[in-house]
Amino acid sequence: MHELSITQSIVSTVVERMRDAPIKRVKVEIGKLSGIVPDAVHFCFEMATAGTTLEGAKLEIVEPSGKGRCRDCGTEFETSDPLPLCSACDSADIELLGGQELRIREVEVA
Amino acid sequence: MCATCGCSDPAGVRVIDPAAEAHGHGHGHGHSHDDGHSHDHAGHDHGHEHGHSHLPAADPKIVQLEQDILAKNDGLAQRNRDWLAGQGILALNLMSSPGSGKTTLLERTVRDLAGELPISVLEGDQETLLDADRIGSTGARVVQINTGAGCHLDAEMVENGLRTLDPAEKSVVFVENVGNLVCPALFDIGESGRVVIMSVTEGADKPLKYPHMFRTADLMLVNKVDLLPYVDFDVARCIDYARRANPNVEVLEISATKGDGMDAWYSWLRERLAAVAQLDEVR
C-alpha cells in the first residue's frame, strides 16, 4: 500500500534534482528485504509520472539481495527471508547488511 | 493496492484542531514560534532554472543521482527529532493494526497520569474526529490528522500536526499512527521511540507476518491480557516471534480496559521521559 508514496518520492526527487530536463529512464535500487514490492512500484509509476518531466520514462529496478551477519558466530550469508536464521548456527540474532536499499541510482536525460 | 485505495494522496491530508473547530475562533492557529520550532521550507525550493542540468562529462545523457528515495522524509523527520529533543519532549510513535486498543490505552494513560505527566496527542486516522473526541474528553490536548486515503503518517504531516498541537516543554507526545502494520514501519516521523501494540485477540504469529513493523519497535505492548482465558493466544510464543524480528525489543503485558500491567507501562514512560529530559540538559 505504501508503494504509491515511494513512487511519488522517486518522481518528486528526480524532478527536484533534474529541474525541467525531460527524463527518458530512471534506475532505482529496491532491496529484496526493503518491504517494497517492485511490481507495485512499476504499477504506480505511470500514474505518478503523468504530467511530469518523467512522463513516458522507463523505470529500471535493480533488486540487491539480502545479506545477513550472525551476531553469535559471525557467519555472513545471503538470504531472501526478512527474518533470517544463521545458515551456520541457526541463531536468529542477525544483523542485516544488505537488501534494505531504497535508492535512486541514475537517470537518463532524453 | 495503491491504485485502488489511492493511498497517500497528499491533497487529502487535513490537520484538525478540535478545540479550534468547536469554538470557531481559531485557537491553536498561527502561534509565533519563538521557541525555535521554525518551519521554514529551505530545501523545498522548486525554482525553475532553464537549461542547466549540470550533466557529468562522461555520458552527457546519464546523471548519477545516488539519493535515498526516503531522503526527503528522513530529513524532515530529523528536523522534527531535533526540535523535540531541544524541547525535552518524549514523542512516541504508536503503531498497531486497527482495533488493538491504541485509543483505549491512550485514554486510560492520560487519565491515570493527569497531574503528573503533561501529555498531548496527535491522532492519525484516515477519516473522522472520533478518536480525537475520545482523547479530548479526557482533558488532554489533541490534534487530529486525517490522512484521507493515506495509509500512514509521514514526517511532514507530523511536523504540521506538531505546529498546531504546540506541545509543552518536557512533556509526552503520543502520535497514534494510522491502524496498519505495514506502511507506517517505513516512515520515520522523528519520534523518540516506537511502540507496537498487539492484542491477544490477534494471531500470535503477527511478528513473523509483519517483520518490518516489529524490527524497528522499542517496545511491544501485548494488550487485552484480561481476555487470555477466552482466546487461543500463546503469549510466550508471540514474544519469541517478536524477539526473532528484534532481539532487543522490550515487552509489557497489559490490559488497557482492566488496568493490568499499566504501572509497568507508566514506569517505562517515566524512565524514557527522564532520559529525554536529561539529554536536553546535557545540551
Per-residue cell: B191? 519520534
Cβ proximity of A28 and A104 under 8 Å:
yes
Cβ proximity of B169 and B276 under 8 Å:
no
DSSP 3-state assignment of B175? Answer: strand
pLDDT in tens, chain B (283 residues): 333 334 445 557 899 998 887 654 433 343 444 444 444 444 444 444 444 555 555 677 999 999 999 999 999 999 999 999 999 999 999 999 999 999 999 999 999 999 999 999 999 999 999 999 999 999 999 999 999 888 899 999 999 999 999 999 999 999 999 999 999 999 999 999 999 999 999 999 999 999 999 999 999 999 999 999 999 999 999 999 999 999 999 999 999 999 999 999 999 999 999 999 887 677 6
DSSP 3-state assignment of B160? Answer: helix
A86-95 contacts at long range (C-beta below 8 A, 24 or more positions apart): A92/B243, A92/B244, A92/B247, A93/B247, A94/A68, A94/A69, A94/A70, A95/A68, A95/A69, A95/A70, A95/A71
pLDDT at A47: 93
Paired strand residues for B175: B93, B122
Chain A contact set for B57 (CB, 8 A):
none
CA dihedral A109, A110, B6, B8 (to 10 degrees): 20
pLDDT at B54: 55
pLDDT at B22: 66
**Cα A30 → chain centroid:** 1
Query: How many residues does the structure list for chain B?
Result: 283
Cβ proximity of B153 and B178 under 8 Å:
yes
CA closest to B214 among chain A residues:
A83
* B130 interfacial to chain A (CB closer than 8 Å): no
Region A84-101: what's the mean pLDDT? 92
Task: Please state, in angstroms and rounded to a whole number, the distance separating the CA atoms of residues B274 and B110.
Answer: 18
Q: Which residue segments constitute the domains of chain A, with CATH numbers given?
A: 2-65+97-109 (3.30.2320.50)
DSSP B107: H
- The alpha carbon of residue B148 is apart from the nearest alpha carbon of chain A, in Å, by 13
pLDDT at B53: 52
Residue with more model confidence, B257 or A1: B257
- Per residue in A39-87, pLDDT (tens digit) is 999 999 999 999 999 999 999 999 999 999 999 999 999 998 888 999 9
Q: Report in angstroms the alpha-carbon separations of A36 from A32, B16, B194, B220, B243.
A: 8, 31, 21, 24, 23
> What amino acid occupies position B195?
V
Strand spans (E) along chain B: 14-16, 62-68, 90-96, 119-125, 141-146, 172-176, 193-199, 219-223, 250-253
Q: Which of residues 215-244 of B touch A (CB under 8 A)?
A: 215, 243-244
- Considering only CB atoms, A1 lies closest to which of B49, B63, B151, namely B151
- Per residue in A7-44, pLDDT (tens digit) is 999 999 999 999 999 999 999 999 999 999 999 999 99
pTM (2 decimals)?
0.83
CA closest to A48 among chain B residues:
B3
Q: Which residues of A touch B (CB under 8 A)?
A: 1-6, 8-10, 12-14, 16-21, 24, 28, 35-36, 40, 43-44, 47, 71, 82-83, 92-93, 102-109
DSSP 3-state assignment of A103? Answer: strand
- Considering only CB atoms, A9 lies closest to which of B2, B52, B70, namely B70
pLDDT at B127: 92
pLDDT at A1: 56
* Residue of A19, A24, A95 for testing the chain B interface, max B β-carbons within 10 Å: A19
- Considering only CB atoms, B151 lies closest to which of A2, A92, A104, namely A2
Paired strand residues for A76: A69
